[in-house]
Amino acid sequence: MIHGDQALGRTSPGPLAPFGVVVRESSGRYVLTVDRLVGRAEVVVKPAPRGIEGTDHIAGVTVLAEGHVALVPDLALILRRAVAAGELGPA
């Protein structure tokens, strides 16, 4: 299990995240905890700008139908870091 708050660098994690998203990758299946599920949508993801400190785990950005900007995490990078740190194993 990957704790989403820690993976995204939150310094003061809130209460235990009530949801989990199963992420499949070549080395196995993992659960990423999340605060909420927004829904499902087809979106166009544009690459995130590089060079902004603390955002290397963000793969891209998209604009949702309501006009809100959503950050798209780099799940492969988050998984690699968690495995390398010995924080998890396959689910």
| pTM, 2 dp | 0.67
Q: CA–CA distance from 58 to each of 18, 48, 74 (Å)?
A: 22, 7, 5
When pLDDT is averaged across residues 37-43 and rounded to a whole number, the result is 81
Q: How far apart are the C-alpha atoms of 78 and 58, rounded to whole Å?
A: 9
Q: How far apart are the C-alpha atoms of 32 and 56, rounded to whole Å?
A: 18
Task: Report the amino acid identity of residue 17.
Answer: A
pLDDT class of 46 with cuts at 50, 70, 90 = very high
Q: What local confidence, expressed as pLDDT, does residue 65 receive?
A: 86
**pLDDT > 80? residue 62:** yes
4-84: CATH class: mainly beta
User: Which residues lie across from 2 on neighbouring strands?
Assistant: 32
Share of the chain above pLDDT 90, in %: 10
Q: What local confidence, expressed as pLDDT, does residue 31 receive?
A: 83
Q: Are 91 and 28 in contact (CB under 8 A)?
A: yes
Extents of the domains making up the chain: 4-84
Residue 66 has phi, psi (to 5 degrees) of: -80, -5
Q: For the segment 6-29, what is each residue's pLDDT rounded down to a tens digit?
A: 666 666 556 666 788 888 878 778
